[in-house]
Chains A and B, each alone.
Chain A
Amino acid sequence: GNSVTQMEGPVTLSEEAFLTINCTYTATGYPSLFWYVQYPGEGLQLLLKATKADDKGSNKGFEATYRKETTSFHLEKGSVQVSDSAVYFCALMNTGKLIFGQGTTLQVKP
């Protein structure tokens, strides 16, 4: 079946630190991969996506590369800010619907 596994949180970092949130997936076929972000009190927002192997999605300084050989889509940012504090969800799309990981809470301290 299809599933997504994310590293457990919370992840606590100081401002300007490097961020990695690991995400691996299991899927049949060739899914599209996504990172969604949920800021406190707000709805889910698409952060970035990649639709085929070796594609790199990027937005707001965040990046993730679709690695078919390791079935991974790790989220990275070189220098986090306090405003990046949120819950991050990795997801895959297969047959039209999204399948999400359990989410990783990021707390960035000044």
Chain B
Amino acid sequence: DTGVSQDPRHKITKRGQNVTFRCDPISEHNRLYWYRQTLGQGPEFLTYFQNEAQLEKSRLLSDRFSAERPKGSFSTLEIQRTEQGDSAMYLCASSARDSIVTQYFGPGTRLTVL
């Protein structure tokens, strides 16, 4: 079990550029979650998938954000036309079918928008 992995770990971009992050969940975990954490705050829920279906999206997820999990394995989170307010740590987590209560988190992708 290699844990949840995220790529890249750090991303610096200029305002207005598009960025894409990848999350690989623990093998055979059917649920995958995205959260955002800003400095000094707890993580905030963005969206989650059960297999390839996106079941819930937070109101925090503006139209510039899109997430996919095309084959029910890895997931991507894309931010279009980035703004300075998008600077944050983006966290991915996964949970198993028989233990959805326990979410395992990846190391996160730190995004800095200049």
Contacts and interface: CB of A to CB of B under 8 A. Distances in A.
A89 B103 contact: no
Interface in B40-84: 40-45, 48, 55-56
Given A44-B91, A46-B102, A49-B102, A98 B43 contact: yes
Interface of B: 31, 33, 35, 40-45, 48, 55-56, 91, 93, 100-108
Contacts of B33: 97-98
Interface residues of A, number: 22
Contacts of B44: 100
A17 B42 CA distance: 26
Given A96-B56, A96-B100, A97-B33, A44 B41 contact: no
B41 A103 contact: yes
